[in-house]
């Protein structure tokens, strides 16, 4: 399903551009068409390309033939099959995500979704589109809920779903507050997250699910979300993020 803006919508966007032209979050140039990044800044973002970790898509320098896992993932068991990010870690991508999350640049959601969509060059994600797997936003972190009024993962998942023609199903809820994760070991993180999420809504008959978030760091949160989906009967769960953190 490709988005075909109608006449009204185009007129509305034209009017909005005229009243309030967008400003590129990268270079500050004026941008039209409801964009938050200019074409130049967007194109300058390096995609994740081989070789990278088959589990978390952390890029590696040099030549490696065949499948391999990075030191972070080696010997680990995750509930998701693999996680794939669209772009590499860079100061620019980090700054855009920061503006999006903390500086009310909610308009950047569409631009970040286009960066996340680059992950779909990965042939392992072909069946996601063929079988129409739903996109599931990772629920908002409890600490942010008070003052940030939106869930960044959902604001990326919605335009991403539109671009790829996939449904977005916001079925995960965070039901319990968790301690901050940064100083915890992997095992402590897992225990900390147990019971933090619930599934609300029907997931019967899903061929699989794609968890969507802005950044993949340790993978503990998405792993717990994946565990919930798998234990509720979703056979295959993969993760797609904008950036590998
Ligand atoms: Zn720019
Ligand atoms: Zn890895």
6 part of a folded domain: no
What's the pLDDT score for residue 226?
97
Ligand nearest to the Cα of 108, by number: 1
What's the pLDDT score for residue 208?
98
What's the pLDDT score for residue 236?
96
Domain that includes residue 179, residue range: 45-244
27 part of a folded domain: no
Confidence bin at 107 (pLDDT 50/70/90)? confident
25 part of a folded domain: no
How many whole angstroms from 194 Cα to the centroid of ligand 1?
41
What's the pLDDT score for residue 159?
97
167 part of a folded domain: yes
**pLDDT value at 124 more than 50:** yes
How many whole angstroms from 240 Cα to the centroid of ligand 2?
14
Lowest mean pLDDT among 45-59, 94-108, 160-174: 94-108
- pTM equals 0.88
Lowest mean pLDDT among 23-27, 69-73, 207-211, 241-245: 69-73
How many whole angstroms from 55 Cα to the centroid of ligand 2?
5
The answer to whether the CB of 238 falls within 8 A of the CB of 211 is yes
163 part of a folded domain: yes
Ligand nearest to the Cα of 37, by number: 1
Residues 6+ apart with CB under 8 A from 52: 58, 59, 60
**pLDDT value at 2 more than 50:** no
22 part of a folded domain: no
Q: Residue 110's domain is classified under what CATH number?
A: 3.40.50.2020
**pLDDT value at 141 more than 80:** no
What's the pLDDT score for residue 16?
62
How many whole angstroms from 226 Cα to the centroid of ligand 2?
17
Q: How far, in Å, CA of 245 to CA of 82, rounded?
A: 15
Torsion, CA 111, CA 70, CA 68, CA 224, rounded to 10: -70
**pLDDT value at 167 more than 50:** yes
17 part of a folded domain: no
The answer to whether the CB of 239 falls within 8 A of the CB of 84 is yes
**pLDDT value at 5 more than 80:** no
30 part of a folded domain: no
How many whole angstroms from 217 Cα to the centroid of ligand 2?
10
Q: What is the CA radius of gyration of the chain?
A: 18
Ligand nearest to the Cα of 36, by number: 1
Ligand nearest to the Cα of 82, by number: 2
**pLDDT value at 85 more than 90:** yes
User: How many domains is the chain partitioned into structurally?
Assistant: 1
């Amino acid at each position: 399903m490709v988005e075909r803006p109608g006449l009204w919508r185009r007129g509305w966007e034209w009017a909005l551009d005229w009243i309030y032209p967008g400003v590129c979050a990268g270079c500050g140039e004026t941008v039209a068409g409801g964009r938050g990044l200019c074409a130049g800044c967007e194109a300058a973002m390096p995609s994740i390309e081989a070789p990278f970790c088959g589990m978390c898509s952390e890029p590696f320098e040099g030549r490696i033939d065949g499948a391999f896992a990075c030191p972070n993932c080696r010997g680990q068991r995750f509930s998701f099959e693999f996680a794939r990010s669209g772009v590499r870690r860079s100061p620019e991508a980090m700054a855009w995500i920061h503006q999006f999350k903390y500086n009310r640049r909610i308009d950047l959601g569409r631009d970040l979704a286009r960066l996340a969509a680059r992950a779909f060059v990965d042939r392992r994600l072909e069946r996601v589109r063929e079988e129409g797997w739903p996109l599931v936003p990772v629920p908002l972190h409890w600490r942010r809920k008070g003052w940030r009024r939106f869930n960044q993962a959902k604001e990326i998942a919605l335009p991403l779903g539109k671009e790829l023609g996939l449904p977005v199903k916001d079925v995960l809820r965070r039901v319990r507050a968790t301690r901050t994760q940064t100083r915890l070991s992997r095992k402590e993180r897992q225990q900390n997250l147990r019971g933090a999420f619930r599934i609300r809504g029907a997931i019967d008959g899903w061929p699989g699910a794609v968890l969507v978030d802005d950044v993949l760091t340790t993978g503990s949160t998405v792993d717990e979300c994946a565990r919930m989906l798998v234990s509720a009967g979703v056979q295959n769960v993969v993760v797609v993020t904008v950036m590998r953190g």
